[in-house]
Amino acid sequence: MKRNMQHELLTVQVVETNQWSYPVHNHNHFELILIRTGSGQHIINGNRFAYQAGDIFFLGHLDSHYFLIDKMTCFCCLSFTELYMTGLTTPGTDGWLQIKERALTTSRQLVGSIVTDRIEQQNLNALVDILLTEQKNHRPLISNQIVEALMKTILSLIDRQLAQQQGLNSSTVSAASLMQRIGVYICQHITMPDHLRMEKMADVFNYSQSHLSALFKQQAGESINQYIIRYKLQLVETRLRLSSMTISQIADEFGFTDICHLNKLFKRYYQTTPTEYRRSLFVPARVRNAYLQSSFR
C-alpha cells in the first residue's frame, strides 16, 4: 500500500475532478476532507460509504482510503501533522484527545462522514474557506495568528465530533479543552456582562445551561459565576494598584451594578473595601502586607 508523505506542517487545497487519481493509500498526517459538490463512494479501511455534498471525512495516520466518483466532485482537503497540532496545544493539557487517538488506531467502525448536522458542516466549511482566503492572498499558513486561531477551532470541532461518534461523554473526553475554551472566552469578554450571562455562554459552547454549569463546577470546584467574580476582582485589584481610575470608573468598566455592589464583593474576598485597599498602598510596607495577605478564599 502506498503511504502519502507530507513534509509541510499544514496544507489546504481544493480539487475538482471526475476521476480519483490516487491509489489506495494512508498518510503520515491527519486529513480533513470536505465534500463541496458531487457524489460517489468513499472506501475507508475496506468499508464502503456513499458520499454527497456536505459530507466531511476525517482520516488518521493508519486510515487507508480512496474514492470512486459517480458525479464530478469538488474536494477540499485540509492536511496537518501531529507536530503542528502539538504546537497549538496549551502545555499541561491533554489537547485534542480523540484526534490523537485516531493517529494510533485504525478506524474499523462503520462510520463515514463525521458530521451529519448541516449547521456544523457549514461552520467547518466557513472556517476552512478563511484558511483558503489567507492562502489565496499569499499569507503564510505557518506563524499566522489568524490561521492558528482558526485551526484551534477546527480541531476542537473535529474532536467533539469524534467523541460523539464514539458514543463518549464529552465531559470526560474533552473537559480540559472545554475549560480552556471557557477561560479564554471569559478573558476576552470580561468587560462585556451580556456575553458572560449563562444563557449566552451555554449558546456559545453548545450546551444546556445546567449541563455547562455542572461540567464547569466539576472541573473547577466552583461555579462559573464565582470564577468570573474572582477574575473580575483580581483585575479590580490591579486597577487600584496601577491606575488612577476612580472606583466608580472601575466598577463601570467591569459591569458592577454600582460602587456598593463592588464594595460588597471586594470586601468578601479581600476583607477590605476598594477605597481602604487603595489607601493601604500609601502606608508603610509592614501595614500594607496585612492587606495583601488577605488573599482569595
In 3-state terms, what secondary structure has residue 77? Answer: strand
Domain boundaries, the chain: 2-169, 175-221, 226-292
- d(CA 62, CA 45) in angstroms, rounded, equals 9
Architecture per CATH, 2-169:
Sandwich (2.60)
At 297 the pLDDT is: 42
The 10s digit of each residue's pLDDT in 30-86 is: 999 999 999 999 998 878 889 999 999 999 888 889 999 999 999 999 999 988 988
Task: Summarize pLDDT for 159-207 with one digit per residue, the tens.
Answer: 888 877 765 444 444 565 677 678 888 888 899 999 999 999 999 988 8
- Same fold flag, 2-169 and 226-292: no
pTM, entire model = 0.56
In whole numbers, what is the pLDDT of the chain averaged over residues?
A: 84
User: Which pLDDT belongs to residue 196?
Assistant: 94
Residues 243-267 pLDDT 10s: 889 999 999 999 999 999 999 999 9
pLDDT at 107: 52
Residues 6+ apart with CB under 8 A from 266: 233, 236, 272, 273, 274, 277
CATH topology of domain 226-292: Arc Repressor Mutant, subunit A (1.10.10)
Radius of gyration over every alpha carbon of the chain, rounded to an integer in angstroms: 25
| pLDDT over threshold 70, residue 3 | no
Which pLDDT value is given to residue 174?
54
Q: Out of 97-106, 154-163, 208-217, which region has the weakest mean confidence (pLDDT)?
A: 97-106
> Rounded to an integer, what distance in angstroms lies between the CA atom of residue 257 and that of residue 265?
11
Average pLDDT (94-118) is 72
